């Protein structure tokens, strides 16, 4: 769920192209932000390169299937690209899973959301009970939902007397600090959030053929805006949106909060020389969130296992930027879904060279757009795998 500004509070005091499809990343090279990746306290498995042989085999198969060449349009390109990512000439993308990570943010105290922080916890229970929008979408597209508490305010869900085993405990802390006053978390916690995501990818998501990144956290579009500005160099006003549709005065207040967060944390645009730029973990530490770090770790861990991940809206996009800054080799494994209504989302997609599949006017978050996109990616691979060739069907060309 995105945060929604309605009542501003007073300002606080001082390899070759990995993808034949235009929808997927058009650049195999690490992004400019990948120069931020140097970190001696984060250990990651290597991410395998795009498999050209598997892609070539898949491309040859496409030319033999019972259809006019190119008649399935970009579905054909997507199938070939996913073959190269997975290393399987006939990928199936079995057992898709939507990961919904939740956490709280101290910046809500600055009046950047119309909803109280308690809504994060309530929605976490709603996800676990299957009552959220992403729950319904995942059900219709045949995906599992993994609900994760990455750092919701209060005690762990399973120990507050109303617990449910449907929520996975990967808590780093009980919400981050207010980024407009200082760093969101310690460096150790930033590393821990990334490692928790990597660990989850290697264990609970080990059998998933495709993973969608979803989130929940009141105040998290403010954090996403700060991360996007810090990692892309975009102006805060350009990447900070109205959430669920508030007036311009409230959005302007939110912009000021983001600007202050960047200034207080030494991340203001053009405020650092290239040689002094903090690494990606440090950017996450200063203006990030536990769920953002967790999802970035999921992306990194999945990529190391040749599992593509589908990016959702602006918060998921911020996690993708962090993952790309930590290890640029992850980029080919980041698949687009929709056009988000938050302006920062377009900046993220451009920075990651991703062309969205559709625009349904979505602004919910949760992984809802990414869950919808699962159907397209799976359909591309199912037609590629299940269709008969002309020879198999006994049809002469």
Catalytic residue annotation? 366
Crossing angle for the helix pair 368-386 and 133-141, to the nearest 10 degrees: 0
- 172: tokens are 């780093």
Long-range contacts of 48-52 (CB under 8 A, 24+ apart): 48/87, 48/304, 48/306, 49/15, 49/18, 49/329, 50/15, 50/16, 50/18, 50/19, 50/84, 50/85, 50/332, 51/83, 51/84, 51/85, 51/86, 51/87, 52/15, 52/16, 52/84
Distances 397 to 23, 57, 271, 340, 392 between C-alpha atoms, Å? 31, 21, 63, 44, 12
Pairing mode of beta strands 211-216, 309-310: parallel
- 277: tokens are 């730029």
Q: Is-contact 217 103, C-beta < 8 A?
A: yes
Phi, psi of 103 (to 5 degrees): -160, 160
How many beta carbons lie within 10 A of that of residue 122, not counting itself? Answer: 12
Q: Is-contact 98 368, C-beta < 8 A?
A: no
Q: What is the dihedral of CA 169, 243, 111, 153, to 10 degrees?
A: -10
- 99 Cβ contact partners less than 8 Å away, ≥ 6 residues apart: 146, 148, 200, 205, 211, 212, 213, 214, 295, 298, 367
Rounded to an integer, what distance in angstroms lies between the CA atom of residue 291 and that of residue 295?
6
Phi, psi of 65 (to 5 degrees): -75, 155
Mapped onto helix, strand or coil, the DSSP state of residue 163 is: coil
How many beta carbons lie within 10 A of that of residue 116, not counting itself? Answer: 10
């Amino acid at each position: 769920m995105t945060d929604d500004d309605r009542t501003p509070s007073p300002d606080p005091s001082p390899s070759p192209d990995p993808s034949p499809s235009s929808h997927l990343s058009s650049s195999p090279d690490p992004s400019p932000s990948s120069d931020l990746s140097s970190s001696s306290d984060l250990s990651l498995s290597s991410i395998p390169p795009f498999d050209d042989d598997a892609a070539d085999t898949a491309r040859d198969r496409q030319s033999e299937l019972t259809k006019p060449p190119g008649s399935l349009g970009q579905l054909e390109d997507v199938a070939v690209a996913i073959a190269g990512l997975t290393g399987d000439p006939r990928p199936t993308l079995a057992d898709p899973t939507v990961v919904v990570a939740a956490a709280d943010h101290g910046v809500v105290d600055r009046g950047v959301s119309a909803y109280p922080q308690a809504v994060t916890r309530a929605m976490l229970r709603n996800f676990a009970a299957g009552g959220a929008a992403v729950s319904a979408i995942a059900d219709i597209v045949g995906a599992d939902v993994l609900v994760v508490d990455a750092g919701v305010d209060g005690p762990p869900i399973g120990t507050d007397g109303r617990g449910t085993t449907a929520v996975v405990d990967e808590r780093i802390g009980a919400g981050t600090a207010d980024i407009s006053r200082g760093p969101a978390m310690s460096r150790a916690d930033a590393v821990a959030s990334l490692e928790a995501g990597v660990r989850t990818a290697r264990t609970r998501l080990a059998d998933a053929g495709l993973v969608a990144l979803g989130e929940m956290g009141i105040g998290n579009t403010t954090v996403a805006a700060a991360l996007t500005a810090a990692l892309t160099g975009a102006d805060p006003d350009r990447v900070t949106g109205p959430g669920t549709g508030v007036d311009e005065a409230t959005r302007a207040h939110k912009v000021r909060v983001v600007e202050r967060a960047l200034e207080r944390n030494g991340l203001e645009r053009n405020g650092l020389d290239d040689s002094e730029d903090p690494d990606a973990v440090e950017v996450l530490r200063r203006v990030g969130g536990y769920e953002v770090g967790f999802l970035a770790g999921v992306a990194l861990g999945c990529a190391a296992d040749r599992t593509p991940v589908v990016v959702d809206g602006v918060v998921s996009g911020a996690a993708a930027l962090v993952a790309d800054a930590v290890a640029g080799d992850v980029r080919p494994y980041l698949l687009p879904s929709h056009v988000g209504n938050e302006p920062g989302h377009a900046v993220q997609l451009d920075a990651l060279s991703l062309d969205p599949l559709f625009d349904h006017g979505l602004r919910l978050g949760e992984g809802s757009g990414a869950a919808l996109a699962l159907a397209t990616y799976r359909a591309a691979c199912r037609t590629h795998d299940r269709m008969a060739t002309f020879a198999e069907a006994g049809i002469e060309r």
